Amino acid sequence: MGGVSVVRPRSRRPRRGPLARVVAAALTVVLASVLVVTATGLLAVLVVRGDGSGGTRGGTADAVAVTGLRPFGTPRESSPAVPAPSAPAPPVDATALLAAVAAAAAAARGTIDVAVLDAAGRPLVTGASAGAARYTASLVKLLVVGRLLALDAAGALDLGDRDLALMERAIVRSDDGATSILWDRYDGATLVAGAAAEAGLTATAPPAVAGRWGEATTSASDVAVVLAGLAAASGEPPAATLLGWLRATTATAADGFDQTFGLLRGTAGVAAKQGWMCCVDGRRQVHSAGVLPDGRVVVLLGDFPTATSWGRARGALDDAAAAVLAVLS
């Protein structure tokens, strides 16, 4: 420093060599690093950087967040809860249930296909004929309206208030006229085919004769899949809308038919679609399918000769539904 010598007082400690001084400076930085807890409880390291002289004057302090650490004595936060898989539903006496349904159908000289799923969509009871293709009658309205709602939600369609009113009537009052308008306006056959492909249905198809939408085909198992899908997505607008309409089914349909049979015979809170048709191929169809208040799905597809009256066919569905609900309760 300009030839001026500076006399320093002798230190009582031994003089450190260059290497020792480097190590000491490093330790100074390390020791100047302080673990701190932020206001939010986050651990951070306060690193004090010197000015290059081995001291800390004129240096900077940086707080570096450290993940995976916690202050001593702080309770360890529990890991985010992972939903446990739903426990399988208690087993039901499928043999007794199917026997009771078969007896109800035989009393009316017909058959009733059965499919029952638990609230998680797993099969509880599956009849031997649950996969057989049957005429949908008015159950096709589930497919048409459900598909329209899904396409609208996806932005592929822009449904207006009149469309929605027609769709509601098709479900709540099982209005055939409203269904025919929707079928012609939006190509019902394509809607049915699209719904079947989307859900992986195996027995569901458009009618062989164009425009005769009640002669579309489906099976008890396919309808159960559709309803289970609605139940699983009940918090989303398309499914919530359709389930709301199903729960609002009127006692009397638009054509005057009494809809309080099968699952709607004295059972509250069921989101159900009923179906009836006569007399294609000399047969009469009476169907009842729905989601119970606890999320379980029941599908009953009845097929009877035209010689069986509406009253007897409806009575068979009543008895079959009562047998299913008794076993499930």
Is residue 76 a part of any domain in this protein?
Answer: no
Neighbours of 219 (CB within 10 A): 23
Do 127 and 237 fall into the same domain? yes
What local confidence, expressed as pLDDT, does residue 74 receive? 35
**Residue 57 shares a structural domain with residue 200:** no
Instruction: Examine the pLDDT at 101 and tell me if it is beyond 60.
Output: yes
147 and 40 co-located in one domain: no
- To 5 degrees, how large is the angle CA 130–CA 132–CA 136? 95
Residue 47 pairs with which residues in a beta bridge? Answer: 62
Q: Examine the pLDDT at 307 and tell me if it is beyond 90.
A: yes
On whether both 36 and 140 belong to a single domain, the answer is no
* pLDDT at residue number 91: 80
Taking the alpha carbons of 216, 217, 220, 222 in that order, is the dihedral positive or negative?
Answer: negative
Q: Is the pLDDT of residue 160 over 90?
A: yes
Q: In terms of Cα–Cα distance, which of 195, 177, 188, 227 is closest to 211?
A: 188
Spatial distance between the Cα atoms of 93 and 99, rounded to a whole number of angstroms: 10
* Across 225-234, average pLDDT: 97
Question: CA 196 to CA 53: how far, in whole Å?
Answer: 77
Domain membership of residue 53 as a residue range: 19-65
Q: At how many degrees (to 10) do helices 140-153 and 161-172 cross?
A: 150
Note whether residue 8 is domain-resident.
Answer: no
Averaged pLDDT score across all residues of the chain: 82
Residue 87's pLDDT is: 61
pLDDT of 79 reads 38
In angstroms, what is the C-alpha Rg of the chain?
36
Specify the DSSP class assigned to residue 7: P
Give the pLDDT band of residue 89 (cuts 50, 70, 90): low
Residue 172 φ then ψ, to 5°: -65, -45
- Among residues 167, 177, 162, the alpha carbon closest in space to that of 144 is found at 167
In a domain, residue 150? The reply is: yes
Integer angstrom CA distances of residue 280 from 131, 178, 217, 238, 284: 20, 22, 13, 33, 7
Q: Which residue has the tokens 């320093």?
A: 8
Residue 75 lies in a domain: no
Q: Is-cis flag, bond preceding 279, omega within 30?
A: yes
Give a yes or no: residue 245 inside a domain. Answer: yes
Query: Do the domain assignments include residue 71?
Result: no
- How many structural domains comprise the chain? 2
- Of all residues in the chain, what percent carry a pLDDT higher than 70? 73
Q: Provide the residue type at 148 as one letter.
A: L
Rounded Cα distance between 295 and 122, Å, is 11
Confidence of residue 224 (pLDDT cuts 50, 70, 90): very high
Do residues 130 and 57 share a domain?
no
Cα 194 to Cα 206: distance, rounded to the nearest angstrom: 10
| Angstrom distance (rounded) from CA 123 to CA 228 | 10
> Rounded to an integer, what distance in angstroms lies between the CA atom of residue 176 and that of residue 148?
17
Q: Assess whether 178 and 59 both reside in one domain.
A: no
In the chain, count H helices and then E strands: 9, 10
Closest of 214, 215, 218, 185 to residue 203, by C-alpha: 218
Strands (E), 81-203: 111-117, 123-126, 134-135
Residue-wise DSSP of 277-319:
EE-GGGEEEEEEEEE-TTS-EEEEEEEEETTS-HHHHHHHHHH
Is 83 inside a domain boundary? Answer: no
Assess if residue 162 is contained within a domain.
yes
pLDDT in tens, 171-222: 999 999 999 999 999 999 999 999 999 999 999 999 999 999 999 999 999 9
Q: At 262, is the pLDDT very low, low, confident or very high (cuts 50, 70, 90)?
A: very high
- Read off the pLDDT of residues 25-66 as tens digits, 9 standing for 90 and up: 443 433 333 333 343 344 343 443 444 444 444 444 444 443
Give the number of residues written for the chain: 329
Report yes or no: 68 and 49 within 8 Å, Cβ to Cβ: no
Which CATH number do you get for residue 227? 3.40.710.10
What is the pLDDT confidence band of residue 111, given thresholds at 50, 70 and 90? very high
